[in-house]
A and B are shown apart, each in its own frame.
Chain A
């Protein structure tokens, strides 16, 4: 167990925390011990649920005010996809990125610009959009990933704004007026992508499944171990032979790639895009989804992103108060379960013990920072 406090003692808040946390932790631990066939059964059931999700029966409860299938595509599906991408950067490598929306914008603008001005088709542009986002992640990361903590957060925040403001001021990509009409994807197996949100939902669902599979595989490989090691103690990681800079850059590139993917998929449906679609608050919202769900753990962040996307829509009936309700829900959540709904085992222990990347005495001298001299 990660928390050693006796649930019977402590403040009322601590006690409620234990009650709330117990369920999530039990689930996670049972999952860790479950035999293979049970896991596959759960995967299949979840996938079946996701496929059946757009049915009006579910929709009438989940979304009495808005078209449910549209919601499932955007914001729910898109937020989940973005959260999976940001989770690699924040949850695994422990790099605080406050400008993640920039990669979403780059993906979206790639399709809009190339599609409208040069007649590029959807699928090749999907690859290009991912590539451009990823390259821009490397361009952002190469000079900035030498910074740590707060400094990195500030620079990425600036990057997000730079991309948005550049879009506003560049007439070639429509300036503040934006771009329209962004082409839809061509039909697949006879399914037409038009105004009906259903095919788009299945498209984004397919992308989410792919992103989860790749993300999990990375997590359980040398790459994922290197990320975790960097998050826990960057200096020790480097002294165990982890090329930390390279792996941080890789986390940035892969996170950006998934952000770009989300951007292309999203813009393929919306017809019209403008710089106002990519505000800082979107970066913050996705970050909230990752932290709320439990950074580092895919099921957690999927649930987190779902809630962040769905709650404000569900409470549309409260009119102007819905954001207040949403904010209150977030505050209560973080008070009761600071490590997120379904945190990874490692991560929750880190938060409980405050052990994340504590610096030992002997390597902490700032003048002893990385020396790079060609030999």
Chain B
């Protein structure tokens, strides 16, 4: 199931703070402990993956990072700054964006409008500027439209510009979500099962897209169940099980780790 290891592990620059750091994060929902003292480090410019069986707490990590849940204990740092407890839209402005496991596009807006919502995160036009059609508002609109079109092109769905988001084929909806997230100009992009439901050809081109995103200077953290894709693309992998980190390291290290094989693959290593 392994492809050739095309990705060279990016070497972290010791002078730079990590893109993302979870420091002993505990997340409790009533009696349920979703995360138990999770420590996680994602270096800048890497593609990192978060894997683990269903219910391991992967999406909860995303929710904690994006401010959907406030961690019960511990700290979340983005580029060295704490972001736990910061409002969600402010975290986006600082440079963290995400996609969703079950696609959550603005279903009845066009593809372009969906992406423009993301671009708008950094715009300042208020009601007065828009109502009066003031020059800077027109300028922002024009710029935003151009940037949104460019991003649709980047993810490869520029032919869907004016189509309603809910009318797009499944794979294109996933791409549109990525474009919308990129529109907020994130330094850290969180992808929640981007390949779910895609066919092998779509997966290959998604893989290439994720690399291009990394190469454009962004850090990527992805949750994914497709081991082939994860092993191929990731610089580092973290494995969660029952809310605990059970392993981390380079893809080949993780793949060989008996704890991972036991917890995640469930059977002796037929995978290698």
Task: List residues of A whose CB falls within 8 A of some B CB.
Answer: 214, 217-218, 221-226, 228-229, 232-233, 235-244, 250, 254, 345-347, 349-350, 353, 355, 360-363, 365, 367-368, 370-373, 375
Residue B123 CB within 8 A of the other chain: yes
Q: Which of A228, A239, A250, A372 contacts B109 (CB 8 A)?
A: A228
A320 to chain B, nearest CB (A): 43
Closest 9 CB pairs of A and B: A241-B121, A221-B130, A241-B92, A373-B85, A346-B108, A371-B70, A236-B104, A214-B131, A232-B106
Asked if A346 and B109 make an inter-chain contact with CB atoms under 8 angstroms apart, the answer reads yes
- State which of B46-54, B61-69, B241-249, B256-264 sits at the interface with chain A: B61-69
| B-side interface size class | 35 or more
Asked if A239 and B92 make an inter-chain contact with CB atoms under 8 angstroms apart, the answer reads yes
Asked if A236 and B106 make an inter-chain contact with CB atoms under 8 angstroms apart, the answer reads yes
Query: B140's closest neighbor in chain A, by CB?
Result: A222
Q: Which of B88, B108, B133 contacts A238 (CB 8 A)?
A: B88
Residue B154 CB within 8 A of the other chain: no
Asked if A362 and B101 make an inter-chain contact with CB atoms under 8 angstroms apart, the answer reads yes
Asked if B108 and A232 make an inter-chain contact with CB atoms under 8 angstroms apart, the answer reads yes
B223 to chain A, nearest CB (A): 11
Asked if A225 and B68 make an inter-chain contact with CB atoms under 8 angstroms apart, the answer reads no
Q: Which of A236, A349, A372 contacts B100 (CB 8 A)?
A: A236
Residue B212 CB within 8 A of the other chain: no
Within 8 A of A (CB), among B38-89: 59, 62-63, 66-70, 82, 85-89
Residue B37 CB within 8 A of the other chain: no
A360 to B29, CA, bound (A): 18
Asked if A218 and B30 make an inter-chain contact with CB atoms under 8 angstroms apart, the answer reads no
Known: A240-B184, A242-B120. 20 other contacts (CB 8 A): A222-B130, A222-B141, A223-B127, A225-B116, A229-B109, A229-B117, A232-B108, A239-B88, A240-B183, A241-B92, A241-B184, A242-B117, A250-B126, A349-B166, A353-B107, A360-B100, A362-B62, A362-B63, A368-B69, A370-B88
A375 to B8, CA, bound (A): 38
> Could you list 6 A-B pairs, sorted by A, with CB under 8 Å?
A229-B106, A232-B108, A236-B105, A241-B97, A345-B164, A367-B29
A244 to B88, CA, bound (A): 10
Q: Within 8 Å CB of A373, what residues of B? A: 70, 85
Residue B118 CB within 8 A of the other chain: yes
A373 to B75, CA, bound (A): 14
Query: B144's closest neighbor in chain A, by CB?
Result: A222
Asked if A223 and B89 make an inter-chain contact with CB atoms under 8 angstroms apart, the answer reads no
Q: Within 8 Å CB of A361, what residues of B? A: 101-102
A150 to chain B, nearest CB (A): 22
Query: B27's closest neighbor in chain A, by CB?
Result: A368
Query: B60's closest neighbor in chain A, by CB?
Result: A362
Query: B86's closest neighbor in chain A, by CB?
Result: A375
Contact A221:B125 (CB < 8 A) given known A235-B68, A236-B100, A362-B100: yes
Query: B92's closest neighbor in chain A, by CB?
Result: A241
Q: Which of B97, B102, B127, B141 contacts A218 (CB 8 A)?
A: B127
Q: Within 8 Å CB of A363, what residues of B? A: 63, 68
A30 to B67, CA, bound (A): 44
Q: Within 8 Å CB of A236, what residues of B? A: 100, 104-106
Q: Within 8 Å CB of B87, what residues of A? A: 243, 370, 372
Residue B180 CB within 8 A of the other chain: yes
Residue B235 CB within 8 A of the other chain: no
Asked if B102 and A226 make an inter-chain contact with CB atoms under 8 angstroms apart, the answer reads no
A229 to B184, CA, bound (A): 15
A370 to B68, CA, bound (A): 7
Residue B137 CB within 8 A of the other chain: yes
Asked if A375 and B130 make an inter-chain contact with CB atoms under 8 angstroms apart, the answer reads no
Asked if B166 and A226 make an inter-chain contact with CB atoms under 8 angstroms apart, the answer reads no
Asked if A241 and B69 make an inter-chain contact with CB atoms under 8 angstroms apart, the answer reads no
A369 to chain B, nearest CB (A): 9
B265 to chain A, nearest CB (A): 25
Q: Within 8 Å CB of B89, what residues of A? A: 238-239, 241-244
